[in-house]
Amino acid sequence: MRDRYDEIRERIDTFTIINCEHRNWFWRLIGHTAVVYKDPQIGQLMVLESTQMGKSGISGVQLSPMGKWVNEYPGTVKIRILQRPHGYWVGNVRGQQQQAAFFIKKYLGTSYPDVKSWEGKKKLILSALDLEIDGKDILTYTGDDQGIFCTMLVIMFYQYCGLMESWLLDKEFEPDDTRESGIAEKLLIDCVWSDEIEIY
C-alpha cells in the first residue's frame, strides 16, 4: 500500500513505527528505524530517532517535524500504525502519551554509539548478530558504550511506555526486527501494528 503523507496524516499517532530503506545500497542494507510522537496540544507529528548524523547535523537522539522529515528522507519511508484491540482502555492510552513525553524529555540529546571506537562498533555489530546457547544469546553487548542507536531507541520508547515486553534487551534489536514478521511484534502488549504503508 502507498499513500501520500498529507492524505494519511490524520491516521498517524504517537507510537507509529517508521521503517526506512535508504537509496544508498550500504545504508539500505543496515536499515533505519524511528517512531512518531504526536504533540497532544497542537497535533504536530514529530519523528523521534537516533542517528549517527541527522539532517540537522546533530548526532544522537533528536526530534524533527514529520512532514519535512518524510519529504527529505533519501529513500523509501514505510510506517506501521499502532492499533489497539476493541475495547482497549482509553485512560491507559492517555497515560502512555504522558509517559512518551517523559521519555523524550529524559533521552533527547543522548549520543549515538561512538562508531570511532571499538566499543561503539561492537555494540552495533552485536545487535545484528544472534547466537543462542541454552536459550541465552551469547553475543549480547556487555561493554560500557552509553550511546543509543535507532532501533534500540524505539524499543526503549515502547518498553518505557508499557507497550512492549522488556525481557529482551533493547540493545538486541535491529531495524529488521520492527518490520512485518519481525520479532518485536511478538513482544507487543495488548496492541498490534498495521501492515506496512509506504508514504511519500
Domain count, the chain: 1
Q: Is residue 122 part of a domain?
A: no
pLDDT digits (tens, 9 = 90+) for 128-165: 666 666 666 666 777 777 899 999 999 999 999 999 99
Position 24 pLDDT exceeds 90:
no
Helix, strand, coil shares of the chain as percentages rounded to 5?
35, 25, 40
Chain-centre distance for alpha carbon 8: 19
| CATH number of the domain residue 194 falls in | 3.90.1720.10
Q: How confident is the model at residue 106 (pLDDT cuts 50, 70, 90)?
A: very high
The pTM is what?
0.87
Q: In sequence order, what are the residues at sequence separation of 6 or more whose Cβ sits closer than 8 angstroms to the Cβ of residue 104?
A: 37, 48, 63
Q: Is residue 116 part of a domain?
A: no
CB atoms near residue 198 (< 10 Å): 13
Q: Is residue 104 part of a domain?
A: yes
Q: H-helix or E-strand containing 53? A: none
Q: Is residue 128 part of a domain?
A: no
Q: H-helix or E-strand containing 35? A: strand 32-38
Q: Is residue 184 part of a domain?
A: yes
Domain carrying residue 83: 2-111+148-199
